[in-house]
Each structure stands twice: as C-alpha cells, then as structure tokens.
C-alpha cells in the first residue's frame, strides 16, 4: 500500500495536497482498495462552498456507495472532470491524477487538525 510523503490525511481516508491557499483532495490507496472497483464519481460544481465535514460528492464501487466528506472549509476552485469520465482511474492512481477537487481555503488553521503520513500510516495499521 502506498503512503506518499508530503500529503495530509484524514480518518475518512482522504488525502490533501496543500499549495499555498489551495488544497487538492482525493481518497487514499487504502480507501480505493477497500471500496473495490470504482465505477461512478459525482463531484460538485466549482464555486460551491463547503464546511469542514460536509458531503461534497459520492464515489460508488460495483457494490457500495460512499459519501465524500470535505476535510476543510472553503470554495471549490476546480474539479477533475477526466476522473468523472473514467472513475476507475481512482483505483489505478489514487494519488496525483486521482485528485477529485481543489478547494480555496477559508481558514488554513484547519490544516493543523490533519494527520501527516506517519500518523496516517499508523492509523491504517491500527484499523487493519
């Protein structure tokens, strides 16, 4: 299982890549494996504002439906349209090209609540 450096993580198995005031969000290798074959992805329009913990989208595998929770408060800047057209890409490359949305942050102090890679790796080991 992949645990890339330089990202932040949540207990809901999302990863966050922060670049200045903008955060890219996707789901982790652990999450894609747990879901199985991903066949559907629903993302919000850009410009929509989400609070920390809001549902921003839905990912579906053949068997299951899972909500995507916004790990941060802010406004959607961009969505990954090509991933919506080919959601199996999430299974193939959950990081990098597997980013789902980017958010312009309202409040970057929320970032302190997130796990770094070592904390997330430990968390996954605990629940596995």
Partner 1 sequence: MSEIKKTTLNAIHKGLGARMVPFAGWEMPVQYSGVIDEHRAVREAAGLFDVSHMGEIDVRGPHALDFVQLVTTNDASRLEIGQAQYSLICYPTGGMVDDTIVYRMGDHHYMLCVNASNVEKDYSWLKEQLLGEHEAQVTNVSNSYAQIALQGPKAMDIINSLCGRDLTEIPYFCFDFAELAGAELMVSRTGYTGEDGVELYLPPEDAPRLWEAIMDAGKDEGIKPVGLGARDTLRLEMKYSLYGNDIDADTTALEAKLGWVVKFNKTDFIGKEALLKQQGEGIGKKLSCFVVEGRGIPRHGYDIHIDGRKVGVVTSGTMSPSIGIGIAIGYVEAEFDKAGQEVDIIIRDKAVTAKVVAPPFYKK
Nearer to partner 1, 88 or 116 (CB): 88
Between CA 3 and CA 56 the distance in angstroms is 24
Q: In angstroms, what is the minimal distance from the CB of 97 to partner 1?
A: 20
Q: Could you say which of 2, 40, 107, 116 contacts partner 1 (CB under 8 A)?
A: 40
Per the rule left: phi > 0, alpha: psi between -120 and 50, beta: everything else, 96 is left
Decide: is 92 part of the binding site for partner 1 (CB under 8 A): no
Decide: is 63 part of the binding site for partner 1 (CB under 8 A): yes
Nearer to partner 1, 24 or 61 (CB): 61
Q: CB under 8 A: which stretch of 5-13, 33-41, 71-79, 113-121 binds partner 1?
A: 33-41
Decide: is 39 part of the binding site for partner 1 (CB under 8 A): yes
Footprint of partner 1 on 43-62 (CB under 8 A) = 58, 60-62
3-state secondary structure string across the chain: CCCCCCCEECCCCEEEEEECCEEEEEECHHHHHHHCCEEEEECCCCCCEECCCCEEEEEEECCCEEEEECCCCEEEEEECHHHHHCCCHHHHCCCHHHCCEEEEECCHHHHHHCECHHHHHHHHHHHC
Decide: is 19 part of the binding site for partner 1 (CB under 8 A): no
- Positions in the binding site for partner 1 (CB under 8 A): 36-37, 39-40, 42, 58, 60-63, 65
């Amino acid at each position: 299982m992949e645990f890339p450096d330089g990202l932040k993580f949540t207990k809901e198995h999302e990863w966050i890549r922060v670049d200045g005031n903008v955060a890219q969000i996707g789901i982790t290798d652990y999450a894609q494996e747990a879901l199985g074959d991903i066949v559907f992805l629903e993302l919000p329009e850009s410009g929509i504002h989400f609070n920390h913990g809001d549902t921003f989208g839905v990912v579906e595998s053949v068997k299951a439906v899972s909500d995507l929770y916004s790990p941060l408060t802010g406004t959607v800047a961009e969505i990954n349209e090509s991933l919506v057209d080919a959601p199996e890409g999430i299974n193939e490359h959950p990081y990098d090209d597997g980013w789902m949305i980017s958010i312009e942050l309202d409040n970057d102090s929320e970032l302190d609540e997130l796990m770094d890679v070592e904390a997330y790796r430990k968390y996954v080991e605990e629940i596995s």
